[in-house]
């Protein structure tokens, strides 16, 4: 997008928070409580977020037989060797306090008759530790309660229908952003910027995610010079409702935790032959097993049977009602399900306070790669991570304020050709098909190379042109993150967690490290020429060293 900040309407704030999921709302609340003027920029409305759609719950060690160390070990096991122990310890130790604060401030979590929190169990957890609300509407309750808390703070200024497009960075420091606010270009000046823009599920044609989950924050940060990490690790949720004409509605893992079993089209339970934890195996394992059974049957679905769960419709009212609308009574019939893109374990690389490599720029929630999720997120750790790192980012901004920007700083972009396209929606659908076909549950070098080549063809026409509206901005972000995922997946020559390669089916010790992707001056759309097994190692990271050629980002 072309702009000159000297000519744009200007907003000023101590902190700009982008996104209204759990991480963004938590950061805004804590910043406002500390007296900071916060501008909360939201692409659609305050309730449009992955958080609002989350069903399962929040993992936290409240049980009498549980403790943070057990939660830590479960997190490390699920992360397949790539969850950072120190980061994971911070989350599992501090998380229960954050959940308790939210509960004490109005979150209506489900409780036992004695007033203690009711705890469920999900895959790969050794204890019942899932805090939930209204059965299967935990995310909606978290979003409601945090929105209510933020609304009470006079220091928070919400800006709905505000699509943040470009970060304003100079000499390694972020000073704010440019946005389309109700189709008008504006500049937002802030001493700190918090990216909490959610994940990448909408890069795929089948996903549990809402419309805004296109990786826009990751793309924007990468263009500004922030490093990204672990982009190859995309988690596919094993169980989404699979009925023709029905959206990919998520069937919570808590259904399997309560006793739901997976059946193939012959009515046979198949998970016991694949994994000792059966239906509660790690999500990547369950998703691949379902995919295999579907391929063998030549079917777009298999079944999740919840008929053996006592009071199943009362325990999962939202799931029961949605399935009923599509002709399935979950108390009497098995549910047709299939995997769908669900969660991005990678993202903008941050430290233990949510800081990126750009001064004044923070990332938290699904936008960030803190090192917690590793190669395969442990169920219900995502809302917990958002609470912990939203608070920690806010605390660092308050405790370590940057000096005010010098007067007269401005940014200008006028090199992009202004041209309106009439095929943007078709291009978006094409990129989704490419990602689903070539970078799904099962991958190989030939397919991923085809994906990059096909994405380049689209990019050659679109990059270098000014995005004239939100849809074109969306396509630009999608292309950027698509290629970041594809080249990280091509580089990792093994199978680990959410990244499974048929040409490298084994987990390899040589790859027990992260892949860090750093921006080069030439841009993103580089020829993928480096395929050696190891790259330049930096403290446990494999740093991308590819040189750019062809289209500029």
Positions marked active-site: 283
The DSSP secondary structure of 138-195, one letter per residue, reads HHHHHHHHHHHHHHT-TTEEEE-SEEEEEEEEETTEEEEEEEEETTEEEEEEEEEEEE
Q: Tokens 């059966």 — which residue?
A: 278
Half-sphere exposure of 513 (CA within 13 A, CB side): 18
Output phi, psi for 472, to 5 deg: -70, -35
Q: Are 17 and 38 in contact (CB under 8 A)?
A: yes
Residue of 215, 221, 227, 229 lying closest to 169 (CA atoms):
221
* Spatial separation of the C-alpha atoms in residues 177 and 362, rounded to whole Å: 13
Would the CA dihedral through 215, 218, 222, 228 be positive or negative? negative
Q: Are 482 and 433 in contact (CB under 8 A)?
A: no
Residue of 66, 118, 119 lying closest to 93 (CA atoms):
66
3-state helix, strand, coil split of the chain in percent (to 5) is 35, 20, 45
Cβ within 8 Å of residue 241, ≥6 positions away: 247, 248, 249, 250, 251, 322, 323, 326, 335, 336, 337
* Spatial separation of the C-alpha atoms in residues 498 and 482, rounded to whole Å: 16
DSSP state of 224: H
DSSP state of 75: H
Report H helices in 400-444. Answer: 424-438
Other CB atoms within 10 Å distance of the CB of residue 266: 9
* Spatial separation of the C-alpha atoms in residues 452 and 474, rounded to whole Å: 18
Other CB atoms within 10 Å distance of the CB of residue 428: 20
* Spatial separation of the C-alpha atoms in residues 495 and 443, rounded to whole Å: 9
Q: Tokens 């190891």 — which residue?
A: 534
Other CB atoms within 10 Å distance of the CB of residue 340: 26
């Amino acid at each position: 997008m072309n702009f000159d900040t000297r000519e744009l309407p200007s907003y000023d704030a101590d902190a700009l928070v982008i996104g209204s999921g759990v991480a963004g709302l938590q950061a805004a609340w804590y910043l406002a409580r500390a007296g900071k003027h916060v501008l909360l920029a939201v692409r659609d409305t305050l309730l449009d977020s992955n958080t609002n759609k989350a069903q399962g719950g929040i993992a936290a060690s409240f049980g009498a037989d549980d403790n943070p160390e057990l939660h830590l070990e479960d997190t490390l096991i699920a992360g397949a060797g790539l969850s950072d122990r120190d980061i994971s310890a911070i989350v599992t130790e501090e998380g229960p306090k954050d959940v308790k604060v939210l509960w004490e401030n109005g979150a209506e979590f489900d409780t036992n008759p004695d007033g203690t929190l009711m705890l469920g169990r999900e895959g790969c957890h050794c204890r019942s530790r899932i805090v939930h609300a209204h059965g299967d509407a935990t995310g909606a309750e978290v979003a409601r309660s945090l929105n209510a808390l933020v609304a009470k703070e006079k220091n928070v200024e919400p800006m709905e229908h505000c699509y943040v497009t470009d970060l304003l960075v100079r000499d390694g420091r972020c000073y704010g952003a440019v946005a389309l606010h109700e189709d008008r270009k504006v500049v937002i000046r802030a001493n700190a910027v918090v990216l909490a823009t959610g994940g990448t599920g909408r890069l795929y044609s089948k996903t549990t995610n809402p419309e805004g989950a296109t990786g826009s924050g990751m793309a924007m940060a990468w263009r500004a010079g922030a490093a990204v990490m672990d982009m190859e690790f995309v988690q596919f949720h094993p169980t989404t409702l699979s009925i023709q004409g029905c959206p990919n509605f998520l069937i919570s893992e808590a259904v399997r935790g309560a006793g739901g079993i997976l059946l193939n089209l012959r009515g046979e339970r198949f998970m016991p032959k694949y994994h000792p934890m059966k239906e509660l195996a790690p999500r990547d394992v369950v998703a691949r097993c379902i995919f295999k059974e579907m391929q063998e049957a030549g079917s777009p679905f298999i079944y999740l049977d919840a008929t053996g769960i006592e009071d199943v419709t009362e325990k999962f009212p939202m799931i029961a009602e949605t399935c009923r609308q599509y002709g399935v009574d979950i108390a009497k019939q098995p549910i047709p399900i299939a995997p769908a893109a669900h969660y991005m374990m990678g993202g903008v690389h941050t430290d233990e306070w949510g800081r990126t490599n750009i001064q004044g720029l923070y990332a938290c929630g699904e936008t960030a790669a803190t090192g917690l999720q590793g190669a395969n997120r442990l169920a219900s750790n995502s809302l917990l991570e958002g609470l912990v790192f939203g608070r920690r980012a806010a605390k660092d901004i308050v405790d370590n304020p940057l000096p005010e920007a010098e007067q007269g700083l401005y940014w200008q972009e006028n090199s992009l050709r202004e041209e309106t396209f009439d095929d943007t929606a078709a291009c978006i659908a094409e990129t989704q098909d490419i990602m689903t076909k070539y970078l799904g549950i099962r991958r190989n070098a030939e397919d991923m190379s085809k994906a990059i080549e096909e994405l380049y063809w689209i990019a050659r026409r679109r990059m270098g042109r000014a995005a004239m509206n939100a849809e074109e901005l969306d396509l630009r972000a999608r292309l950027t993150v698509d290629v970041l995922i594809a080249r990280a997946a091509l580089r990792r020559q093994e199978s680990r967690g959410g990244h499974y390669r048929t040409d490298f089916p084994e987990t390899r010790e040589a790859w027990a490290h992260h892949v860090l992707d750093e921006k080069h001056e030439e841009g993103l759309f580089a020829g993928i020429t480096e395929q050696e097994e190891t790259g330049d190692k930096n403290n446990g990271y494999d740093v991308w060293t590819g040189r750019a050629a062809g289209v500029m980002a």
